[in-house]
Amino acid sequence: MASTFSRMLMGRRTAMLLASLGTGALATGYLMSDVNHAAVIDRTKLFPPSSDYPDLRKHNNCMASHLTPAIYCRLRDKLTPSGWSLDQCIQTGVDNPGHPFIKTVGMVAGDEESYEIFSDIFDAVIKERHNGYDPRTMKHHTDLDSSKVTHGQFDERYVLSSRVRTGRSIRGLSLPPACTRAERREVERVATMALSGLKGDLAGRYYRLTEMTEQEQQRLIDDHFLFDKPVSPLLTCAGMARDWPDARGIWHNFDKTFLIWINEEDHTRVISMEKGGNMKRVFERFCRGLKEVEKLIQERGWEFMWNERLGYILTCPSNLGTGLRAGVHVRLPHLSKDPRFNKILDNLRLQKRGTGGVDTAAVGDVFDISNLDRIGRSEVELVQLVIDGVNYLIDCEKRLEKSQDIKVPPPVSQFRK
């Protein structure tokens, strides 16, 4: 029975068909022996949704802020076509109450349909996390035409490195919290087969986590390319680390400027980067690489998860839309000590981090500066926003060097007009 399906597995049409069949058809096709339907119904009566409603009184995450008992009761017994439930979406947020000062998201999607079937809670969480983007009324616009970007070469006396990252999910296969081992292996096959078709400056190689030699591993660590099994409870409680390191790996081009992580937090994470300040080239390679990979998977009948409500679909609601973080490592010794620094960043819709990434402190006046928003503006718009913003910061830095005054810029508009 199952083997007939598996032979057809490489086709996207088949995966779409399977995903749309729904549990009803699956149950008639593969009736599980030992299922006691009466027992299941009895237990549901014995434990109504109200008995299962999580205790969120000490919680501070977006899920906890919006999951009312009414929403929970309405959604508890619903399932996506592959059988994923609300409880599974919110487990990470129940297990991780959060921090009084840092508001985490507190829920993940198990598949593309999670965002639809549990939209009552996801839409509210998305709206809060994305500063007012309302998936019920607004549309997200995708634009990967890097030729539109201007002034994308930074002063390299200040900008040390430039980087753009995003994620992509393969439609028809469940996301990391929910995927079966077979699905995860399928993601790896689809992605690596596409990547092996890249040519020229994008040509590269795949390093599977389970088959890496010690030397390869050390070299990838030295290049800062290697990712490790997640330790953050935010991720492990969501189930993303199951079966580690099965079907996980790293692909990068020989130039080491284009890097893909396979089956880490998302099906794929795509990173373009280089030393120095040529953000235009980084973004150009980013777009070109993404379009090439998309073309290569489409040739085999696959596509990325995307819709006009939410843009690119990824595991964490915080990465919807573009999933894009474009940033630089930039030296700002004077500006960073100016009391107006944070306000300037806020108005430019930029975010600062330490150079170790999220939750690290800046070292030696070098900051990681990147876009705050992910959705509601296209990739081109966000990268232009980063370029304009970083140029402004460098300008401020230069002025302060010469003891000239700086101005706080007017706030940049959040969503496209």
> Restricting to residues 71-100, which ones interact with another protein according to CB under 8 A?
79, 81-85, 87-88, 91, 94-95
End-to-end CA distance of the chain: 53
Of residues 320, 294, 315, 26, the one with CA closest to residue 184? 315
Which of residues 6, 142, 196, 218 is near another protein by CB under 8 A?
6
- Has 277 been labeled as part of a binding site? no
- Residue 60 in the binding site for another protein (CB under 8 A): no
- Residue 150 in the binding site for another protein (CB under 8 A): no
- Residue 236 in the binding site for another protein (CB under 8 A): yes
104: left (phi over 0), alpha (psi -120 to 50) or beta: beta
- Has 334 been labeled as part of a binding site? no
> Tokens 């706080």 map to which residue?
408
At closest approach, how far in Å is the CB of 189 from another protein? 11
- Residue 44 in the binding site for another protein (CB under 8 A): yes
- Has 325 been labeled as part of a binding site? yes
> Tokens 């006046």 map to which residue?
365
DSSP-based three-state secondary structure for 194 = helix
- Has 353 been labeled as part of a binding site? yes
Of residues 117, 115, 120, the one with CA closest to residue 68? 120
At closest approach, how far in Å is the CB of 216 from another protein? 17
- Has 329 been labeled as part of a binding site? yes
> Which phi and psi angles does 176 have, rounded to 5°?
-50, -35
List the structure tokens of 250. Answer: 């790293």
Q: What is the largest CA-CA distance in the chain?
A: 79
- Residue 262 in the binding site for another protein (CB under 8 A): no
Task: Sketch the per residue contact string, 14 through 43, with another protein: x for CB under 8 A, - otherwise.
Answer: ----x----x--xx--x-xxxxx--xx--x
At closest approach, how far in Å is the CB of 340 from another protein? 41
Written as one letter, the residue type at 339 is P
Which of residues 241, 260, 345, 382 is near another protein by CB under 8 A?
241
Q: How far apart are CA 295 and CA 289, in angstroms?
A: 10
Whether the Cβ atoms of residue 326 and residue 318 lie closer than 8 Å to each other: no
At closest approach, how far in Å is the CB of 108 from another protein? 15
> Tokens 């900008």 map to which residue?
159
Sign of the CA dihedral 60, 62, 63, 66? positive
- Has 162 been labeled as part of a binding site? yes
Task: Give whichever of 113 and 397 is closer to another protein, judged by the CB atom.
Answer: 113
Q: What is the contact surface with another protein in residues (CB under 8 A)?
A: 1-3, 5-6, 9, 18, 23, 26-27, 30, 32-36, 39-40, 43-44, 47-48, 51-55, 79, 81-85, 87-88, 91, 94-95, 178, 180-183, 185-186, 210, 236-237, 241-244, 246
Residues annotated in a binding site for ATP: 161-165, 224, 269, 325-329, 353-358
